[in-house]
């Protein structure tokens, strides 16, 4: 019997081949749209700070910095280093965080969220994200199937 096609593994292999700047440009564009729509406004404490987010099951890593209150791509010269704070998780866990279905503490203690770098900065980001309002469409998305947000 032949082995079944492992889709997550295939996506991860492809994701690791996507150039980091390409991933960062798209990710930062999404953050900027959210910021401009007032869904995700970075607090002053994040000014000039650098971040990296890795979607581990997709093999995608995005590096960015906050400059003048806006998200900007950060080009990794050393091939993966340089971020003051790095977060890593699977796509489903990041989506659960975005929808406020779970919190960062829960994922961290369940070893589903990896955090490394500046701990104080990590706490600032965690508190900021916990306090950020979720857009109505995102809340409805999280309730599909649970009865929440469904008329």
Tens digit of each residue's pLDDT (9 = 90 or more) over 10-42: 777 777 777 777 788 888 999 999 899 988 899
Cβ contact 85:129 at 8 Å: no
Kindly state the percentage of the chain with pLDDT values over 90: 44
Whether 92 has a pLDDT exceeding 60, the answer reads: yes
pLDDT band at 142; cut points 50, 70, 90: low
pLDDT digits (tens, 9 = 90+) for 37-87: 988 899 999 999 999 999 998 888 899 999 999 999 987 554 556 899 999
Which has more confidence, 117 or 23?
117
pLDDT band at 149; cut points 50, 70, 90: very low
Q: Give pTM, 2 decimals.
A: 0.76
Domain edges within the chain: 7-143
Give me the pLDDT at residue 147, please: 40
Domain 7-143 - what CATH class? alpha beta
Which has more confidence, 4 or 40?
40
Alpha helix (H) residue ranges in the chain = 7-17, 20-36, 91-98, 104-109, 119-131, 136-143
- Highest averaged pLDDT of the listed ranges 70-79, 118-127, 131-140: 118-127
The enclosing H or E element of 60 equals strand 60-67
Q: Which residue in 56, 71, 58, 80 sits closest to 8, CA to CA?
A: 58
Radius of gyration of the chain (CA): 16
């Amino acid at each position: 019997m032949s082995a079944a096609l492992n889709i997550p593994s295939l996506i991860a292999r492809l994701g690791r081949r996507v150039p980091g700047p390409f991933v960062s440009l798209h990710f930062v564009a999404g953050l900027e749209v959210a910021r401009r729509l007032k869904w995700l406004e970075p607090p002053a404490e994040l000014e000039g700070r650098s971040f990296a987010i890795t979607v581990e099951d997709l093999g995608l890593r995005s590096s960015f910095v906050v400059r003048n209150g806006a998200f900007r791509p950060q080009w990794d010269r050393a091939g993966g280093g340089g971020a003051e704070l790095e977060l890593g998780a699977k796509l489903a866990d990041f989506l659960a965080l975005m929808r406020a279905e779970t919190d960062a503490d829960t994922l961290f203690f369940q070893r589903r969220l990896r955090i490394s770098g500046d701990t104080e900065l990590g706490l600032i980001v965690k508190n900021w994200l916990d306090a950020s309002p979720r857009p109505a469409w995102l809340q409805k998305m999280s309730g599909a199937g649970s009865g929440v947000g469904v008329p």
